[in-house]
Amino acid sequence: MDYAQSKTIDTAKLDALVGRVVSDLSAGYGGVMVSLGHRLGLYKAMAGKGPLTSREVAGRTGCAERYVREWLGSQVAGGYVTYHAISGTYELTPEQALVLADEDSPVFIPNAWSVPASMWADEEKAVQAFRTGAGIPWGDHDGRLYCGVAAFYRNAYKASLVPEWLPALDGVTEKLGNGAKVADVGCGHGHSTVLMAGAFPASTFHGFDNHEKSVIEARTVAIEAGVEDRTTFATARADDYPGGGYDLICFFDCLHDMGNPQAAAEHAARSLAPGGTVMLVEPFANDRVEDNISPVGRLYYAASTTICCAHAISDGGHTVLGAQAGEARLADIFRKAGFTHFRRALQTPFNLILEARL
């Protein structure tokens, strides 16, 4: 049966939906262009240089002009580069440069496109996971996932972790300043660990992750930052990392990926020093699906489908939170682990910063 003939179609709603789908498709194509612009140095060649011709951009990057000219057209059409019709030149404004050329900017976005690229590369694994119910371990994904996630979060953490998030916790910065013992659970490439170590030289920081390649990279990141004397990194699970007496235990965007977050919270309770604090940073989410209808919610649900839930299922799947768990579900896990204090210390459009104490 022709579905379009079986029901009355609201043409306005249909047109709006088709328009959104085309816009999304355009964005997907645009992501490839952003990645090329980043890898080829096209954005950096334009940053702060004023209006340039396509030949000048090509000359600055050693690229073929005809390809560069077409690429510039895609950037103009997407609003990522400004075009001056009278002179036939292209310009990267200061705002565009912050997003596309400045790798230290908190809003630098090109690296983030490595994540959907990895999702496409792993599509067949996702198809099989849907059909079988099996999980996909973090380490089994396309390599672009790890670099994309690490680079994307590095800048966000650099802008907010030390100046905003830690001070929002009760008494934590004072302890760190005086000398505290910190565990960074699920540390990945160690950017969060290294940022804290750089800001609080009197404290010691111990990063743990069950992905060995990430742990190796974290050690390199610490050496490059000059904080290897007060950081250690080890391969360990969130429910069995060694040591105790931690004044601060951090979970940065990782608890929802774990197959047994309850066990992770219980291990944190056993590992805390008296008066210690758990800092839980999770993707921003409201508690109900109908309250997460937004571009950010859509992004997180999509990533959660093929990455977060997939890993949690591979990790035992006792509780598969997903990236849109919401504060209420997270609070329940920590209450069951024996924590008596749980509060939202801060929020951003992308994260919830939560504090738990025994």
pLDDT digits (tens, 9 = 90+) for 121-132: 999 999 999 999
pLDDT of residue 4: 55
Percent of the residues in the chain that have a pLDDT greater than 70, as a whole number: 98
pLDDT band at 152 (very low <50, low <70, confident <90, very high): confident
Please give the single-letter amino acid code of residue 203: S
| 213 falls within a domain | yes
Q: Is the domain of 25 the same as that of 140?
A: no
**1-5, 257-261, 270-274: lowest mean pLDDT where?**
1-5
Q: Is the domain of 62 the same as that of 177?
A: no
Q: Is the domain of 98 the same as that of 121?
A: no
pLDDT digits (tens, 9 = 90+) for 81-115: 999 999 999 999 999 999 999 998 989 999 999 99
pLDDT band at 235 (very low <50, low <70, confident <90, very high): very high
Q: At which of 102, 128, 145 does a domain end?
A: 102
Q: Is the domain of 296 the same as that of 348?
A: yes
| 108 falls within a domain | no
Q: Is the domain of 152 the same as that of 95?
A: no
| 178 falls within a domain | yes
pLDDT of residue 6: 57
Q: At which of 53, 73, 102 does a domain end?
A: 102
pLDDT of residue 2: 58
pLDDT of residue 3: 57
Distances (CA, A) of 161 to 13, 183, 281: 43, 15, 10
Q: At which of 83, 102, 121 does a domain end?
A: 102
Q: Which residues are within 8 A (CB) of 12 and not within 5 positions of it... i.e. 6 or more apart?
A: none
Q: Is the domain of 297 the same as that of 323?
A: yes
pLDDT of residue 89: 98
pLDDT of residue 148: 86
Please give the single-letter amino acid code of residue 263: A
Q: Is the domain of 214 the same as that of 175?
A: yes
pTM for this prediction: 0.90
| 51 falls within a domain | yes
pLDDT at 30 over 50: yes
**Domain harbouring 21, CATH code:** 1.10.10.10
Q: How many domains does the chain have?
A: 2
The boundaries of the domain holding residue 40 are: 3-102
CB of 279 closer than 8 Å to CB of 355:
yes
pLDDT of residue 156: 85
pLDDT digits (tens, 9 = 90+) for 180-230: 999 999 999 999 999 999 999 999 999 999 999 999 999 999 999 999 999
Q: Is the domain of 267 the same as that of 349?
A: yes
Q: Is the domain of 240 the same as that of 305?
A: yes
CB of 258 closer than 8 Å to CB of 265:
no
Q: Is the domain of 182 the same as that of 302?
A: yes
Please give the single-letter amino acid code of residue 157: Y
Q: Is the domain of 85 the same as that of 130?
A: no
Could you give phi then psi for residue 330, rounded to 5 degrees?
A: -70, -40
pLDDT of residue 146: 85
pLDDT digits (tens, 9 = 90+) for 173-182: 999 999 999 9
pLDDT of residue 249: 98
**Domain harbouring 302, CATH code:** 3.40.50.150
Q: In what order do the strands lie in the sheet with 341-347?
A: 231-235, 204-209, 181-185, 246-252, 272-283, 351-357, 341-347
| 107 falls within a domain | no
Q: Is the domain of 254 the same as that of 316?
A: yes
pLDDT of residue 1: 47
Could you give phi then psi for residue 187, rounded to 5 degrees?
A: -70, -15
